[in-house]
Structure 1
């Protein structure tokens, strides 16, 4: 028998629609019911591709006895963190405050006003590895709620006050010295053996890599290239189908947590495309093809994720044994493929299976052989049971995918990537925009009811500006301006920073405001990028000033933890460099293409390409060809150099 979640639109909530738990969606009705029954609220937060969410569901939420206890003593509320990042942010802050760590599944117990008094993450069905069983935790909470209500109120009040406490850092400008210091600190955290930063588990540092790319210099470039190479050659990258898994459980990028997220792949697609070179171009092309093949929806958007599990086993879809290679390829090619992809008899993963790695690229005839082998293995893999796809379209993550596809399409000269980006942008501009305001999610062509949060506005605005640069269509500038006006009018804080929710959003126990980048850019850093790009394209001092003021509010974070401020620092670096603005104008052809390609390979540059001048975009106003030849106009810091028509002169202008 289905519960209330059967009418939900979130794939994650629908995964729990057949649970015996009497789940509620987040909303005032659930809290009214809790007050009527004088029961605490158990809040469970996760997402559709979360492996340990599946485990806890199987062990506890599908268990009749556990469900009966929950139904008797709690009002249980299930939240998709990807659909309600505001709810997730507030209670994740409570969880990390109480336990010192966070993650999903997240389990929080609340009073009737939404104040948390207990928090944790995954709890097993029986005591294990020093963790109490979930049932033991529930029984202790019921005892506290009924026998020690004063203690519950005291803890809830303390946490409520902590969550409502405003940021205490004084704004300060971020200049070249601060960025140099951040790069030096990153160098101390850099893994010189395996690439990346820190130890296991190791996450793709997408936003930090963009900072390193824009900063340049020997040290930054070594960290950039070392990490890009290591990630692309390890098991975290899908060597057959392209695209990156969520993270590596080891320090050497060998064994991933196999879920594939849109935000990771949108970000990394752009980084690899902009870095270029044989490896960068190959990985960008394969990752873009993965997005179009496996994540694109019928409506033209991009689905959120692919699950880590298939047939109830994590990684089964992606891992191989030597025997399986031989079965598909035959003895000779199978043995060769095992050597190339480091598939061993002992296995590098579980149950004697291996993840596929590609530490070297075979040359000459070996390259053609590799492509034939990859195609055969990919075709065979397509016959396996596929991981489930979370097919909801999240605005922010589609904005990141649009930006990545525009970079790949223009730099790799693949119009179909730009065409896919345009389709996704149109979906955001039409279906996701209701009464002039952006909404966060849609699914199967139906827009959800939840309003966009700041990261949606920032990432989508940047996506629109990327589409402007890729297509020259000024409609994208108008759409970006509308989102940025919304951010400035309804999300801005008194100190120049931003809240993550609008001033008319649902009131939670605290108004979330987190400037730190995590798996994807923070709302603040995403919005700063869009503000800075808009200012470069239009010359708007208002937008540049807003970007500078917002950056000043993260100076302390950038100084203390640059790994969590990479996107903000990347924006700051571009602004310190000008930002560099390039207009290339002239008749289409090899001469214009050469100028445009060189300009687009400049880290952090804003580039527009057009046949003729246009007043619709200020950067193109008055820009004409020179003596009938395509010309490039290079500007920085509100100062423009003379137009140039040759690559050597453009090189000089870009580097001066």
Structure 2
């Protein structure tokens, strides 16, 4: 997607919004950035908020820019009768998780100035979009009193129901999650599930851990099948390198054309781990190819950092080809995971260049992304933005711990401990778990959430520090992170793998 600053009068000096790389008029909407200022404006002028959550790589988001958001009537309605807010899910995962529970983009949410939802949809054709805006506005104007009463009752907020007295943590939970994965495993094509196939590197990681600790041969065998099938399929890009994000078919032959840094880093760790356990040369070659792709494409222009994503757009220009473009944002969590995977490459392959780049990357992250409150910022786009996300502090801390394990750098361990102290101080939730954000924000961000995947990662970070320092407090923090989630993991499917892995590590710590 292409960026536009204050094009069309964004309503926010210096704000930058990115639109489809194909011709469109979406920049003519006077977009506001997410924040309290947008809701304050909506209250002041008594207009609904039109929240648009997009993804850099999302084809339907690009199509929305080119069609519905280029329609003259829709532009006029948004500018004259709404307060339009636009953000990207990768920039604001904390907003995305609260307004886009379906995890599909674009997410369009129409809200009262006080946050009561009027409508929520995903992609809308151009001939229906203006009608949706008119109908939602009409409902708001005719039901102001009732909606205001709903706001006063707290209907605009959100709640998270986790058990006050969850089931005890035990190795049996890890066994249950392993059984869930075995039931979801596709023995023919690898991966998990029978239809749409996500990469699920966290599930591969858990199965490889189980093979190491229990000797269960099916765990290693399934990961090897998955990684072989992936590399032999259309989900692996033989032209540019790297793996696409998911496939619409179970045989991996219908991929969607985005390649995210976080996925490449996680799959690199998978291939390295599988090579270490199996000695299979094809696992090593795949790892080396991934390193070449990450260095040569995502990491070529601003070393030691890696860009966030490579995406493609096909054009009807007569050549039948495709155009590649990069998300040039630098994301803290994804870069930290890349550094961790590069440290793995040094340990498994003896790749000194990976060790050196990983060390330079964690140092650069610390210097560029550290926030005044002791945490880290989420992304960099010419300046750091969005401090206070648990996922960034945990990923950066884990990478710093990896730097210490790799180089014996005492400063890296001390920095990891500083981030652990920050998480304990700013994110710890009463009753168990850690909140995803350090401080409440506007509207639904007034409720801080305890998310299973993020708490599983936090638990593994604390257990790693426990192993490095011997301090029992870190083991207790890991148990605290996992405490709210027994039983709730059952609705997560293969996404529960990280939780099962963390519980297994805790049981043996």
TM-score normalised over the length of structure 1 = 0.70
Q: Secondary structure at the match of 1:488?
A: helix
Which residue is equivalent to 1:405? 342
Q: Is the 1:258–1:307 contact (alpha carbons within 8 Å) kept by the matching residues of 2?
A: yes
Alignment of 1:124 with 2:141, yes or no, is no
Range moving further from structure 2, 82-91 or 530-539: 82-91
Unaligned runs of 5+ residues in structure 2 are 1-6
Which residue is equivalent to 2:431? 495
Correspondence for 1:203 among 198, 215, 237: 198
Which residue is equivalent to 1:476? 412
Measured after TM superposition, the shift of residue 103 of structure 1 is: 1.0
- 1:396–1:488 CA distance, 2 compared to 1 (3 A): same
Which residue is equivalent to 1:104? 105
Correspondence for 1:554 among 485, 498, 502: 485
| Matched residues, number | 490
Alignment of 1:39 with 2:43, yes or no, is no
Which residue is equivalent to 2:501? 570
Distance in 2, matches of 1:306 and 1:432, equals 22
- 1:225–1:62 CA distance, 2 compared to 1 (3 A): same
Distance in 1, matches of 2:450 and 2:192, equals 22
Measured after TM superposition, the shift of residue 161 of structure 1 is: 6.5
Unaligned runs of 5+ residues in structure 1 are 94-100, 127-132, 317-323, 325-350, 352-383, 517-521, 579-656
Q: Is the 1:295–1:303 contact (alpha carbons within 8 Å) kept by the matching residues of 2?
A: yes
Distance in 1, matches of 2:463 and 2:17, equals 34
Which residue is equivalent to 1:72? 80
Q: Secondary structure at the match of 1:524?
A: helix
Measured after TM superposition, the shift of residue 507 of structure 1 is: 4.3
Measured after TM superposition, the shift of residue 264 of structure 1 is: 0.8
Measured after TM superposition, the shift of residue 542 of structure 1 is: 0.3
Distance in 2, matches of 1:576 and 1:150, equals 54
Distance in 1, matches of 2:13 and 2:68, equals 19
Measured after TM superposition, the shift of residue 174 of structure 1 is: 3.2
Superposed counterparts of 1:312-323, under 5 Å: none
What CA deviation, in whole Å up to 9, does each residue of 1:308-359 have, x standing for no partner? 324489xx9xxxxxxx9xxxxxxxxxxxxxxxxxxxxxxxxxx8xxxxxxxx
What CA deviation, in whole Å up to 9, does each residue of 1:60-89 have, x standing for no partner? 212222201211221100012212221212
Correspondence for 1:183 among 170, 178, 184: 178
Q: Is the 1:402–1:424 contact (alpha carbons within 8 Å) kept by the matching residues of 2?
A: yes
Distance in 2, matches of 1:295 and 1:12, equals 21
Superposed counterparts of 1:512-523, under 5 Å: 512-516=448-452, 522-523=453-454
What CA deviation, in whole Å up to 9, does each residue of 1:270-307 have, x standing for no partner? 11111112122111111111111111242521111112
Superposed counterparts of 1:7-18, under 5 Å: 7-9=14-16, 11=18
Distance in 1, matches of 2:281 and 2:113, equals 58
Distance in 1, matches of 2:436 and 2:248, equals 30
Alignment of 1:294 with 2:297, yes or no, is yes
What CA deviation, in whole Å up to 9, does each residue of 1:38-60 have, x standing for no partner? 11000001121111110111112
- 1:213–1:473 CA distance, 2 compared to 1 (3 A): same
Q: Is the 1:245–1:260 contact (alpha carbons within 8 Å) kept by the matching residues of 2?
A: yes
Q: Is the 1:214–1:574 contact (alpha carbons within 8 Å) kept by the matching residues of 2?
A: no
Q: Is the 1:91–1:108 contact (alpha carbons within 8 Å) kept by the matching residues of 2?
A: yes
Distance in 2, matches of 1:116 and 1:493, equals 27
Q: Secondary structure at the match of 1:160?
A: coil
Correspondence for 1:442 among 363, 376, 380: 380
Correspondence for 1:395 among 328, 332, 336: 332
Q: Secondary structure at the match of 1:164?
A: coil
Which residue is equivalent to 1:592? none
Which residue is equivalent to 1:3? 9
Q: Is the 1:20–1:64 contact (alpha carbons within 8 Å) kept by the matching residues of 2?
A: no
Distance in 2, matches of 1:526 and 1:574, equals 12
Which residue is equivalent to 2:262? 263
- 1:273–1:83 CA distance, 2 compared to 1 (3 A): same
Superposed counterparts of 1:63-462, under 5 Å: 63-93=71-101, 101-126=102-127, 133-150=128-145, 152-153=147-148, 160=155, 163-168=158-163, 170-216=165-211, 217-276=216-275, 277-296=280-299, 297-311=301-315, 386-435=323-372, 436-444=374-382, 446-448=383-385, 450-462=386-398
Distance in 2, matches of 1:403 and 1:412, equals 14
What CA deviation, in whole Å up to 9, does each residue of 1:582-614 have, x standing for no partner? xxxxxxxxxxxxxxxxxxxxxxxxxxxxxxxxx
Q: Is the 1:306–1:388 contact (alpha carbons within 8 Å) kept by the matching residues of 2?
A: yes
Which residue is equivalent to 1:606? none
Distance in 1, matches of 2:283 and 2:221, equals 15
Which residue is equivalent to 1:525? 456
Measured after TM superposition, the shift of residue 159 of structure 1 is: 7.8
Q: Is the 1:310–1:388 contact (alpha carbons within 8 Å) kept by the matching residues of 2?
A: no
Q: Secondary structure at the match of 1:178?
A: helix
Q: Is the 1:83–1:440 contact (alpha carbons within 8 Å) kept by the matching residues of 2?
A: yes
- 1:404–1:460 CA distance, 2 compared to 1 (3 A): same
- 1:264–1:32 CA distance, 2 compared to 1 (3 A): same
Superposed counterparts of 1:49-60, under 5 Å: 49-60=57-68
Q: Is the 1:241–1:290 contact (alpha carbons within 8 Å) kept by the matching residues of 2?
A: yes
Range moving further from structure 2, 406-415 or 529-538: 406-415
- 1:43–1:515 CA distance, 2 compared to 1 (3 A): same
TM-score normalised over the length of structure 2 = 0.90
